[in-house]
Amino acid sequence: MKTSLLALAAVLLLGVTPALGHGGVQLGPNGGRILELSKNETVHGEVTAKDGFFHIALLDTKMKPVELKDQTLTATTGDRKKPEKLVVEKKDGKFVVPMQKGDEFLTIFQFRDSPSARPVTARLTYDATLCSACKNAEWLCKCPSDKERK
């Protein structure tokens, strides 16, 4: 991705927290990708990848851990022609979802804060390509810019 020093300076000057920036990818306290899991930014998911699984921890407005109780998460593959449901487990206070194969894919999550809550849909584009600027994989790219995927 192209990094503009000017854009970086603007972000610093405005005091925008990278984790809450709306330009690029949002990263959480553990370096994971932040997914918005509510309509009003009260629940976030922090996605990290480990051994072929996504681990999704819940965070509150202040990016503090939220206890995993009766919240539920479903996940499907992003293949529109043949969407496939993924098996979501709860483990060590996190949701654990098997990653699809390949270096680039889309996973669609549906989160409910409680059994009666309306589901909130979040999309995660996984991209293992390394960003030349920040050396993170693109799906965890920290570069402050309006990153738009084709």
**Among positive and negative, which fits the CA dihedral 138, 141, 144, 146?**
positive
57 contacts Zn ion (rule: CB under 5 A): no
Q: Which residues contact 31 (CB under 8 A, 6 or more apart)?
A: 48, 140
Cβ closest to Zn ion, residue 4 vs residue 61: 4
Nearest C-alpha neighbor of 87 from the set 52, 96, 11: 96
Q: Which one of residues 63, 106, 108, 134 is an interface residue with Zn ion (CB under 5 A)?
A: 134
CB of 27 to Zn ion, least distance (A): 11
Taking the least distance from each CB to Zn ion, the nearer of 20 and 130 is 130
**Residue 36 or 127 with smaller CB distance to Zn ion:** 127
Q: Which of 47, 122, 124, 143 binds Zn ion (CB under 5 A)?
A: 143
Kindly indicate which of the ranges 26-34, 35-43, 114-122, 141-149 contains the residues binding Zn ion, using the contact rule CB under 5 A.
Answer: 141-149
Instruction: Report residue 61 as tokens.
Output: 């407005």
Is 47 an interacting residue with respect to Zn ion (CB under 5 A)?
no
> Facing residues of 124 across strands?
107
The number of beta carbons lying within 10 Å of the beta carbon of residue 109 is 24
Q: Is 133 in the site for Zn ion (CB under 5 A)?
A: yes
Contact residue for Zn ion among 43, 141, 144, 145 (CB under 5 A): 141
- Sign of the torsion angle spanned by Cα atoms 106, 114, 68, 29: positive
Helix or strand holding residue 109 (H, E): strand 104-112
Q: Which stretch binds Zn ion (CB under 5 A): 53-61, 81-89, 110-118, 130-138?
A: 130-138
Name the site residues for Zn ion (rule: CB under 5 A).
131, 133-134, 141, 143
